Amino acid sequence: MALAVHSAGDVTRRQLMRTIPAHATGQLDDTALEPYGVISELARGGMSTVYLGEDRATGERVAIKALDAFYVGRSDVVHRLLGELELAQRARHPNLIEIRCADQTSQGVPYLVMEYLDGESLRALSERLRLPHGTIVAIAAQVACAVAALHDAGIIHCDIKPDNVFVLDDTAVTDRPRIKVIDYGVARSVGDPPLPDSAIAGTPAFMAPEQWRGAPAEASDVYALGCLLYELVCSRPVFSGSLPRLMTAHCDELPVRPAAICAELDPAIDRLVMRMLAKDPAMRPTMREIDATLSGLIASDVIARSA
């Protein structure tokens, strides 16, 4: 069974087809979406396309994530996309993207309806501007708080990276921009069995050793956030190279300390990042601890005076 939710608290269940019809295409036909209209394409991902849409009744703008044509016959991919709704509804937080509906069009194309976010990814923002350390810390604290809410709900994001942190336009020019953590495409529940080698999922530059082995845990998100922090303050990734090189480095090699690359970095940030990048998951702090540490630095105004 799969959930079809069309408003907060309004949950209905219906049997979804195991195999999507072969005639379904990647072009989203808004006549098959019932309450929503499609305005334009926003972005393409590995298996789906995100469109700017509109609620026909209210005029509110929404984002519609539809599975691409190549995957509509893959029942496992379909159920994973539709399952993002269930994960999103288990964890509510102001810094987590809201998913409002998961369903299929009358033509058999699975889709999600999400809140529309006006802004840009942290990846795009950091490539366009050199972010002060105070701004980086403020962003990372919000990510830690949001992902802590996922962990409290028994969810591992499994793909924390700058591309999946969205900086909202109305706050992007401030020292403390507001963010949303997005994309539950490879998220999983705590306690799910290990993945086979052929199904290991994530972004190689941000994957913890245990994630490479198919057994991601909450601490894997901590490691990924450590990689994100490192990349932003050092202007380079923790490790780089080919896929085999990245796997070997993340599993076996110690990174160069951030302070050795960025001399003006606050020692507290250097220590925190190195703890987050520990090879042993048990040696890493929790997301709550990270949030508390980063929020304390912001409150003390130490970071605001650094680069």
Question: What is the token pair recorded at 26?
Answer: 């990647």
Beta bridge partners of 179: 167
The residues near 218 (Cβ < 8 Å, ≥ 6 apart) are: 151, 156, 190, 286, 287
Q: Single out the residue of 166, 50, 25 nearest to residue 113, CA to CA.
A: 50
For residues 126 and 121, what is the distance between their CA atoms, to the nearest angstrom?
9
Q: Which amino acid is at 44?
A: R
For residues 121 and 207, what is the distance between their CA atoms, to the nearest angstrom?
19
**Identified catalytic residue from 68, 159, 183, 291:** 159
For residues 112 and 120, what is the distance between their CA atoms, to the nearest angstrom?
20
**Residue 248 Rama label (left phi>0; alpha psi -120 to 50; beta):** alpha
Chain centroid to Cα 288, Å, comes to 18
Report helix, strand and coil shares of the chain as percent, to nearest 5. Answer: 40, 20, 40
- The answer to whether 227 and 211 are in contact (CB under 8 A) is no
Q: How many residues make up the chain in this entry?
A: 307
Chain centroid to Cα 37, Å, comes to 26
Query: In this structure, what DSSP letter does residue 20 have?
Result: -
Quick check: is 159 catalytic?
Answer: yes
Catalytic residues: 159
